[in-house]
Structures are given as structure tokens and as C-alpha cells.
Structure 1
Amino acid sequence: MVRRTVEGHTRTEAQAVPDILWVLPYAVMGLVVVANLIAGPTVGLLPLVSLGPAFAGLVGGWRRTVVVGLIALAAGVGLGIYSQLFEERRGFASLAAVAGVTAVGVAGSVMRQRREAELAGMRSIAEVAQRVLLRPVPRSAGHLRAAVSYTSAVAEARIGGDLYEVVSSPEGVRVIIGDVQGKGLESVETAAVVLGAFREAAHDEPDLKGVGARIERAAGRALEGEKFVTAIIAELDPANGAVFLNYGHPPPLLVRADGSVSFPEPDQYALPLGLGLGSGEGPRPFRVAFAPGDQLLLYTDGVTEARDRTGAFYPLGARTVFLKDPDPEAALEALRRDLILHTEGPLHDDAAMLLLRHRE
């Protein structure tokens, strides 16, 4: 299961603001009426009831704004009679102002609803793109159990430049996790190219280095200038453990069955995808033992580079206690929540995590 979230406000805060906006028009009009009655008929607060329909256009449909406007007009008539404003022209002028504000509020509400409908359509397209680009990883692949988490740093985001995939091949379970430099549609397009190349090569190539070579060629054709993709490609099978190709990506977190923690690194890091095209030198594969009960966490730098208010990075190696949950999805969700608590606010970069467990 993929856990995709948008951080920034808590659920309680997100719900409280609309509730206030729903009540605000009626509260303002009621306050104006009460204040006018307390101050007496010599204080004419009639024009202030137009604040009701003005606030009504912020939420809800145009019908609600019309209803609030009619209530405001009724309140205005009552205050006008109470203050004897209709003996002068300013009473009728005040009612005309209330009607005018109501008309503007209705027009604004209609325009807002149209924009919301357009945004909803764009979100639907983005969600379809998400399902194509970042498909849910299988919960079980060969000798592994898998779970994935993706936390977007951008409000309302559905997809971004982080990528991941798990493929069962004749050679073993092959996985990739990567991070495209930059943001926006270009990074999404690059992620799609890399994932497409991996999904095809993972089934066809008998050697992991061949998988990496095909992905690097595809990335080199898609990337322009100094753009690049950091990535780790891994192959896991029960007999040979885990083999990695590291293209300038943060090292994986390996948690042994006995609780010991390490970050396996190659002897020498290779250039990221897209920067080493034509050099003839890809990353050297390196092997790590991966036994029953072991766990492997692949992640993007949005995890380890997340800072708290003091500027301290997230101490991933010290947070493996959250991975003790027997359910890999629950364990990864606990780790994700701890990451958000560490930053005490929205992330500054997307954070993807892929957890692989060797079945005992």
C-alpha cells in the first residue's frame, strides 16, 4: 500500500477554518444588529450588515450568498426603521450598498466554483498519472515483504520527482528508488522515463549492470543540461543476498535481525544517472548479505536532510525502533510520522521510503 500525504496543516486545523467561514457571515450580521440596538437609534450601523454577504462568497455556492444577502437586506430594513433612516436618502443608499455587495459576492462565488471545478479535473488527471507513474508496490515479492511511503512537500501535490518500483524477475526481486533533480512537470517526465526503462530492463536483462546501463541511456536521452537523477538499483534473491548499483544516491539502511544497523556504501560512488552517459564507467556492483529477518530501507534525501527548528538533520539510524512493528506498512507509517514530528511542520523536499523485509 502506498501512503501519500500532503503536510502543512493538521487535520483539525484544516477543518476548523471552513467551519469559521461558514458561521462568520451570520455572526457578523448578528453582531452588527446587536451593537446597533445597544448603541441606540442615533448610531446608524446599517451599512455594516453588507459584511455578511461579503464573507458568504468565500465558501459555499452562490445560492448561499443570495440567502445571506436577503437576510442582510431584511436586517438592514429593520435597522433602518429602528434608526429612522428611511426618512432620509441614506437609508435607501445603505440598502443599495448591501444589494450591490451581495451581487458582487454572488459573482465571486460563481467564479470560485468554476475554478474549483477546473482544479478538481486537474487533480483527477494527476491521480491517474500517479497510478501510472507510481503504481502500488506488491505487498509480497518473492522472499520479500514490501511497503512504501511517499510524503509530498508541496501542498495539493500528487506526484513529484521521487520514484520507486519493485519488480519480480527471473533473476530475483529487482527494485529502484531515485530522486530527480528539480521540480515540476519536467521532473515528473524524467521520473516516468526512468521507471519505464527500469520496468522493461528488469525483466529482460540477465545482469543487474545491464539493467543500470539501459536506464542510464534512457535518462541521458531525456535529461538536458546539468539535470540528473540519483538512484539505487538493487537485486535481491535468497541465495546471493542483495546486490546494489549506487548512482550517487544516499546509502540504504540495513537493519539486521539482531537489531544492528549499517549503511552499506560502495567503495567508490558513481555519477548520477544522466551525467555519466558516454563515459563507459557505471557504478560497480557491490554485494551485501541479506538473511531472514533482515530489513532494508531505501529512501530519498528528503528523509535524511529533513531538519528540525535547530537545523539538526533527521537521525534515521537512531530511529530503527519504529521498524520493529511486525506489519511493514505500520512500521513505515510510524517512521513517517516521526519524520514529520522531527520537522515540526511541512517538509522542504519530497520524502520517499521503500521498506523490504526478508521473510523469516
Structure 2
Amino acid sequence: MNVRAPWDGEWRFESRSRFLLLVPIALIVLISLADILSPTDIHLGPLLVIAPALSSSFASPRATAAIGALAVVAQVLIAVFHGGLTTSNHLAQIGSLTVLSALIVVFTVVRERKAQQLARAQSVAEAAQRALLRPLPARIGPLQTATMYVAAEDETLIGGDVYTATRTEGGTRFLIGDVRGKGLAAVGEAALLLSAFRLVAAGHPDLPDLARVLDQHMQRYLVDFADTGNETGEHFITALLLEIPDNEPVARLTNSGHPPPLLLRKGKVTLLDGESAPPLGVQMLGPSTPVEVTHPFDGSDMLLLYTDGVTEARNSAGVFYPLAERASRWAGSTPESLIAHLRRDLIAYAGGRLGDDAALLAVRRTRATKPRS
């Protein structure tokens, strides 16, 4: 991201802005010529204020001040040509133009400072968001991975959808989750889930036990910190835990209210639907009872995990995005290629803008395994 440096008296604008400065300069020349060639009872000089006003929309304060000064000089020349530099009418026009130009420059300075403050704040926010949702490496053990994240809000890089992975003894565990809500309002709960997973993922023997621990973390957080103006039942996170052992041709899943993943195998796409526990943090239902489901997962098989922001994206006719159908078009691709195709296709399908945060995570085993003897 390009952040403008504070105004230090130098002209700092891009080549496009320099080209655009020809427009107010041309206006000054045309208005001046028109006024000079007009009868003395016709005064077009007051229109010169348009030039600095126009410049303030794209140029730096110094450039705007220069255009304002040029407009004042033009007003003086008009008065000289009409032989009335000392008349009250021309003095009033010159004085008014000078004051208005100065006010426009002040406005431009304030606007520039606000823009710089916003740019700095966005830079800090982007750094924090990238630290929270770090990209997964292309290779994790014997697995290839690729991810996509599209935030629904324009000024954010992340929102309520999260994904992460961690190596354990003999395998890799993944998490994909979806906080109720979108954008910055959901970031706090998303951060807690990611932090809790990274802290405890490797220390629990199975996925149901890990899911229960994450649920306890979320419930404790929601009791202590959730907005007291809302019911606690309105705060929850759907989550899917995935474990892929290095030396077993299986994938283990534990689902807490999350959309089931897709299995891409030999050009075919299968929905791995199964039993699901309630979302994490749903206190009114009491402690969750997650279960673990095991599926075959061997060489060149690929799993596609996603959030409902993908499958609930709509086209202009209001039809949901058919993820399984679209994924089948590129089922033989690498994870990186599959995600790239789906990202372009999803955004085009939704008309360039999604109504909710959306995340995709593709995982493929790079080599066949044999069950332990």
C-alpha cells in the first residue's frame, strides 16, 4: 500500500495529477481571455475561483496554493486591462478571490492530514490482520495447501472467517471456522479461536477432545467479554477440525456446525456430510458432544474446506453459488490452481462483490500412504 508522506512543502503528486493540473490552468486562461474581451460591464473574474477549487480535489496543498495564486494574478491582469485596478469593484473581486483561495488551501491541508492519518491507521490494521490470519505454507509435511480469503467489507483484509494449521506428532491438524457476523465486528472472536487452536491443537489426543476444549474457551470468552446488549446465544462460531496423519491413508473430521467439506478424487466431487455437534460457544445447549468421522484419503486426493460465505454467494438471479459443481471443473488441478480458479469464478458469479466473508482451504496429499502394519 502506498502511504503519502506528510506534506513538507514539496509538490508530491503523481504524473496523472500533474496532467490534471493543466485543466485548472486552462480554465484560468480561458476565463481571463473571455473577461478581457468582454464589455467592461460584464465581469467573469469571479469564476476564477473554480480553478483552485477543482485543484483541491486531486492536487497537493502546495499545488492548490499555486493555482490559487495564479488565479489571483489573472484577476489583477483583468483589472489592469480594464483600467480599473484601484476601483472598489476590482479590489473586492481580488480580495474575495484571495480569501477564497486561501480557505481552499486550508481545506486541502486538513484533507491531506486526515488522509495521512487514515493511511497510517489502515497500515497498522493491515499488519495486525496479516499477523492474525497468516497464509499457510504451500507444503506442510506430505501435504500441499492453498487458501483464499475475501472479506465482505472493503476496508478490511479479514473478518469472521478463519483458517489455520499446525503440525502434530505424526500428522497435521487444520481448522476452518466462521464467526457469526462479518468484518471487523467479528475479528475479536476470530482471534480468540485462532489463538486457542494454535495453543492447544497439538496437546490433545483426538479431535473431539480438542473441539470440547475450544468450545470451553469460546464459552468462557463470551461470558466475560460478549456485548451485554446482545443475548449470549447470538454469539457462536461454526468450526471444522481436520486431521491428516502422515502415514495413514485417512482424514479425520470433527464438525461443530460448519458446512461439510468436499472430497475431490479422480475427477469426482463428494460431499463428506456426517454428524455435527452444535457450533462452538452455544451456551444454551450445554457442553458440546463432538464426534470424529474418518474418511479414506490417499495419494492425490484433495479436500476442499469452505465457509458459508462461499456457498451462500448469489448471482443476479438470486441463485446460490454451486461450489461442488464448479469445483468439479478443476478437480484434477493442484490446490493452488483450484483455489485461483474458484476465486475468480466466485467473484464473477457474485457480480464482483460478496455479501459475507468467504474462505476456502484446499489440502492434497502428495504421495500415497500405506496403513501401519
Distance of 1:84 and 1:231 partners within structure 2:
81
Amino acid at match of 2:172: V
1:27 is the counterpart of 2:23: yes
Aligned in 2, Cα 1:286/1:222: closer, same or farther, shift over 3 Å?
same
Alignment-derived partner of residue 14 in structure 1: none
Aligned in 2, Cα 1:50/1:201: closer, same or farther, shift over 3 Å?
same
Distance of 2:76 and 2:210 partners within structure 1:
77
Structure 1 window deviating more from structure 2 (56-65 vs 247-256): it is 56-65
Distance of 1:123 and 1:323 partners within structure 2:
37
Structure 1 window deviating more from structure 2 (270-279 vs 209-218): it is 270-279
Aligned in 2, Cα 1:22/1:335: closer, same or farther, shift over 3 Å?
farther
Distance of 1:158 and 1:31 partners within structure 2:
42
Amino acid at match of 1:156: E
Aligned in 2, Cα 1:136/1:182: closer, same or farther, shift over 3 Å?
same
Alignment-derived partner of residue 38 in structure 2: 41
Distance of 1:54 and 1:309 partners within structure 2:
40
Amino acid at match of 2:241: I
Amino acid at match of 2:308: D
Map 1:1-360 to 2 at 5 A. Answer: 24=20, 26-31=22-27, 33-34=29-30, 37=33, 40-42=37-39, 43-82=42-81, 86=85, 88-183=87-182, 185-223=184-222, 224=226, 225=232, 226-237=234-245, 238-256=247-265, 258-266=266-274, 268-276=275-283, 279-320=286-327, 321-322=329-330, 324-326=332-334, 328-360=335-367
Aligned in 2, Cα 1:157/1:186: closer, same or farther, shift over 3 Å?
closer
Shift of 1:286: 1.4
Gaps of 5+ in 2: 1-13, 227-231, 368-373
**TM-score (normalizing by structure 1):** 0.86
**TM-score (normalizing by structure 2):** 0.83
Distance of 2:260 and 2:15 partners within structure 1:
46
Shift of 1:154: 1.2
Shift of 1:208: 1.2
Per-residue Cα deviation, 1:243-297 (whole angstroms, up to 9, x for no partner):
11111111212211x110111111x332111005773332221122112111111
Amino acid at match of 2:257: G
Distance of 1:71 and 1:270 partners within structure 2:
72
Per-residue Cα deviation, 1:318-349 (whole angstroms, up to 9, x for no partner):
212245444x3343122111111111232111
Amino acid at match of 1:67: A
Aligned in 2, Cα 1:109/1:213: closer, same or farther, shift over 3 Å?
same
Distance of 1:277 and 1:140 partners within structure 2:
40
Q: What is the CA RMSD across the aligned residues, in angstroms?
A: 2.4
User: For the Cα contact (< 8 Å) 2:183–2:357, is it kept in 1?
Assistant: no
Gaps of 5+ in 1: 1-17
User: For the Cα contact (< 8 Å) 1:33–1:79, is it kept in 2?
Assistant: no
Structure 1 window deviating more from structure 2 (290-299 vs 119-128): it is 119-128
Alignment-derived partner of residue 9 in structure 1: none
User: For the Cα contact (< 8 Å) 1:244–1:285, is it kept in 2?
Assistant: yes
User: For the Cα contact (< 8 Å) 2:212–2:290, is it kept in 1?
Assistant: no
Shift of 1:127: 2.4
When Rg is computed on C-alpha atoms for both structures, the one with the higher figure is 2
Shift of 1:90: 2.6
Per-residue Cα deviation, 1:89-139 (whole angstroms, up to 9, x for no partner):
332222223222221222112212221222222223212312331112121
> Which structure exhibits the higher relative contact order, with contacts defined as CA atoms closer than 8 Å and separated by 6 or more residues?
1
Partner of 2:174: helix, strand, or coil? strand
Shift of 1:212: 0.7
Aligned in 2, Cα 1:281/1:152: closer, same or farther, shift over 3 Å?
closer
**Count of aligned positions:** 340
Shift of 1:36: 5.9
Per-residue Cα deviation, 1:178-236 (whole angstroms, up to 9, x for no partner):
11112455521111111111112211111111111111111111224121111111111
Aligned in 2, Cα 1:316/1:78: closer, same or farther, shift over 3 Å?
farther
User: For the Cα contact (< 8 Å) 1:143–1:359, is it kept in 2?
Assistant: yes
Partner of 2:93: helix, strand, or coil? helix
Aligned in 2, Cα 1:173/1:154: closer, same or farther, shift over 3 Å?
same
Aligned in 2, Cα 1:117/1:190: closer, same or farther, shift over 3 Å?
same
Shift of 1:37: 3.5
